[in-house]
């Protein structure tokens, strides 16, 4: 008999009743050190006092009105995002997948408006992940995500990750946009080198192609800049944001330049819940904390500490680990064993990590993790790795 919860997830035998900072607590009091943060969502940890305050204050005042009216919290968050980024305008969604939907629509409408109706193709890369909607699975294109769901939304051109020749050859007078994660998350914490991001920007400038960054996972301070592409000193035309921006409240956004967004006039897009007062009140509290340069300096300092300790961990377990990779507090342990096995061994040591493709275990701790928690996290990972070695022996 099918489970009342549609069984599309392979869930760990854990459930939590409370969260405090980097810790998740089970009903029996067992405390787990959370290096997954709900997959890069709880960017400020669990139950951050400023977010609890923002949410409960807003909950007591007003939950929902709809986009038929002005929403001051939405306007304040849009102002903040515009002030802190390349963007001139923002549309709010409830998730990353919805941000993908709008990014695709925006890119196509841009060319339609310019009389280039044939420019509909969007170039994407293998190992990418853009969500689970019909457009988002067609964008990523992997067999695993698309099998049985055809006919898929046409117009996506899938290229090998890092194949510069293929990319130059693929851009044509049918190309609307290039869509890429500056650091692949699900794909196994694969950063696109700064030089390549610059090259992508140049290619797009030369061909008029729109550049769309999916910063749903790597954005919002995760890499030590507010957005990962800032390290390369370039900016996209359109950017998808979600996960960390809500700190645990469902919130996403599409940020865009005025030129890229111009064609999205009244009636071209909408969302019942997108930009609701609750989400935006929380999002503004998150932005006010994370966009602070002093906060980002701390993320970078702690990222250095974690990375250094992980290098030590890899060196201590050459049978289990191959390398550390990633940026900031978005790190991956490339494994010689099945990553799911290490994640499971972590449960026994009360440390939570997240598997990814390419044999990687992801570490995406709350950006607020302390030095002592970093030390504790690596000690627990060390014991989890030792369990694996014991199993293999
Ligand atoms: C999680 C994720 C998405 C999808 O976001 P949802 O909120 O799950 O719809 C899109 N792109 C990237 C890079 C992601 O990590």
Residues 6+ apart with CB under 8 A from 213: 180, 181, 182, 227, 228, 229, 236, 238, 239, 240
- Give me ligand 1 centre to Cα 23, in Å: 23
Q: Report the pLDDT value the prediction gives residue 390, as an integer from 0 to 100.
A: 80
Residue keyed to tokens 């980097």: 22
- Give me ligand 1 centre to Cα 252, in Å: 9
Q: Report the pLDDT value the prediction gives residue 82, as an integer from 0 to 100.
A: 98
Q: Report the pLDDT value the prediction gives residue 391, as an integer from 0 to 100.
A: 75
Ligand 1 site-directed mutation target among 142, 219, 242, 250, most atoms within 8 Å of CB = 242
- Give me ligand 1 centre to Cα 103, in Å: 13
Flag residues of the chain having pLDDT under 50.
none
**Which residue's CA is minimally distant from atom 11 of ligand 1?**
130
Q: Report which ligand 1 atom has the smallest distance to the Cα of 181.
A: 13
- Percentage of the chain exceeding pLDDT 70: 99
CA nearest to 240, candidates 93, 367, 114: 93
Q: Report which ligand 1 atom has the smallest distance to the Cα of 186.
A: 15
Check if 96 has its Cβ closer than 6 Å to any atom of ligand 1: yes
Q: Report the pLDDT value the prediction gives residue 73, as an integer from 0 to 100.
A: 98
Domains of the chain as residue ranges with CATH? 16-34+293-392 (3.90.1150.10), 49-290 (3.40.640.10)
Q: Report the pLDDT value the prediction gives residue 66, as an integer from 0 to 100.
A: 97
- Give me ligand 1 centre to Cα 97, in Å: 6
Check if 131 has its Cβ closer than 6 Å to any atom of ligand 1: yes
Distances (CA, A) of 132 to 71, 173, 203, 279: 28, 28, 29, 21
Ligand 1 site-directed mutation target among 40, 94, 185, 222, most atoms within 8 Å of CB = 185
Cβ of 106: how many Cβ atoms within 10 Å?
25
Q: Report the pLDDT value the prediction gives residue 389, as an integer from 0 to 100.
A: 85
Q: Report which ligand 1 atom has the smallest distance to the Cα of 185.
A: 15
Check if 324 has its Cβ closer than 6 Å to any atom of ligand 1: no
CA quadruple 384, 390, 391, 393: dihedral positive or negative?
A: positive
**Which residue's CA is minimally distant from atom 6 of ligand 1?**
96
Judge contact between 279 and 250, C-beta under 8 A: yes
DSSP 115: T
The counts of H helices and E strands in the chain are 13, 17
What is the rounded distance in angstroms from the CA atom of residue 340 to the CA atom of residue 346? 10
Q: Kindly report the backbone phi and psi dihedral angles of residue 330, in degrees, each rounded to the nearest multiple of 5, phi listed first.
A: -120, 85
Ligand 1 site-directed mutation target among 38, 96, 229, most atoms within 8 Å of CB = 96
Task: List the beta bridge partners of residue 363.
Answer: 331
Q: Report which ligand 1 atom has the smallest distance to the Cα of 214.
A: 13
Check if 184 has its Cβ closer than 6 Å to any atom of ligand 1: no
- Give me ligand 1 centre to Cα 389, in Å: 33
Judge contact between 119 and 80, C-beta under 8 A: no
Check if 181 has its Cβ closer than 6 Å to any atom of ligand 1: yes
Ligand 1 site-directed mutation target among 243, 326, 360, 362, most atoms within 8 Å of CB = 243
CA nearest to 230, candidates 113, 120, 87, 350: 87
Considering just the CA atoms, what is the radius of gyration of the chain in Å?
21
Q: Report which ligand 1 atom has the smallest distance to the Cα of 133.
A: 9
Ligand 1 site-directed mutation target among 42, 130, 180, most atoms within 8 Å of CB = 130
Q: Report the pLDDT value the prediction gives residue 134, as an integer from 0 to 100.
A: 96
- Give me ligand 1 centre to Cα 185, in Å: 9
Q: What is the pLDDT of residues 129-143, one digit of tens each?
A: 999 999 999 999 999
Ligand 1 site-directed mutation target among 36, 42, 97, 187, most atoms within 8 Å of CB = 97
- Give me ligand 1 centre to Cα 124, in Å: 15
Judge contact between 152 and 146, C-beta under 8 A: yes
**Which residue's CA is minimally distant from atom 15 of ligand 1?**
217
């Amino acid at each position: 008999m099918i489970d009342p919860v549609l069984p599309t997830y392979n869930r760990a035998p854990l459930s939590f009743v409370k969260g405090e900072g980097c810790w998740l607590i089970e009903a029996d009091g067992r405390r787990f050190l959370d290096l997954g943060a709900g997959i890069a969502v709880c960017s400020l940890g669990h139950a951050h006092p400023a977010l609890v305050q923002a949410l409960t204050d807003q909950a007591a005042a007003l939950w929902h009105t709809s986009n038929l009216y002005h929403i001051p919290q939405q306007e304040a968050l849009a102002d903040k995002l515009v002030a802190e980024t390349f963007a001139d305008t923002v549309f709010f969604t409830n998730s990353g997948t919805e941000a993908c939907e709008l990014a695709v629509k925006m890119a196509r409408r841009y060319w339609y408006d310019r009389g280039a109706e044939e420019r509909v193709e969007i170039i994407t890369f293998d190992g990418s992940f853009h969500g689970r909607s019909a457009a988002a699975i067609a964008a990523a294109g992997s067999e695993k995500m698309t099998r049985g769901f055809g006919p898929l939304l046409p117009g996506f051109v899938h290229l090998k990750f890092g194949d510069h020749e293929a990319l130059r050859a693929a851009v044509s007078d049918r190309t609307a946009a290039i869509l890429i994660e500056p650091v692949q998350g699900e794909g196994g914490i694969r950063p696109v080198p700064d030089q390549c991001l610059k090259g992508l920007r140049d290619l797009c400038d030369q061909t008029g192609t729109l550049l769309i960054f999916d910063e749903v996972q790597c954005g919002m301070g995760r890499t030590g800049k507010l957005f990962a592409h800032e390290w390369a000193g370039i900016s996209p035309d359109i950017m998808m944001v979600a996960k960390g921006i809500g700190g645990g409240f469902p919130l996403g956004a599409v940020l865009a330049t005025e030129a890229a967004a111009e064609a999205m006039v009244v009636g071209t897009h909408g969302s019942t819940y997108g930009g609701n007062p609750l989400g935006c009140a929380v999002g503004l509290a998150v932005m006010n904390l994370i966009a602070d340069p002093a906060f980002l300096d701390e993320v970078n300092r702690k990222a250095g500490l974690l990375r250094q300790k992980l290098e030590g961990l890899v060196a201590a377990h050459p049978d289990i680990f191959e390398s550390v990779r990633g940026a900031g507090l978005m790190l991956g342990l490339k494994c010689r064993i099945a990553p799911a096995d290490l994640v499971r061994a972590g449960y026994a040591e009360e440390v939570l990590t997240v598997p990814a493709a390419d044999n990687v275990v992801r570490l995406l701790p709350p950006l607020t993790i302390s030095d002592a928690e970093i030390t504790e996290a690596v000690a627990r990972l060390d014991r989890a790795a030792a369990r694996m070695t014991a199993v293999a022996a």
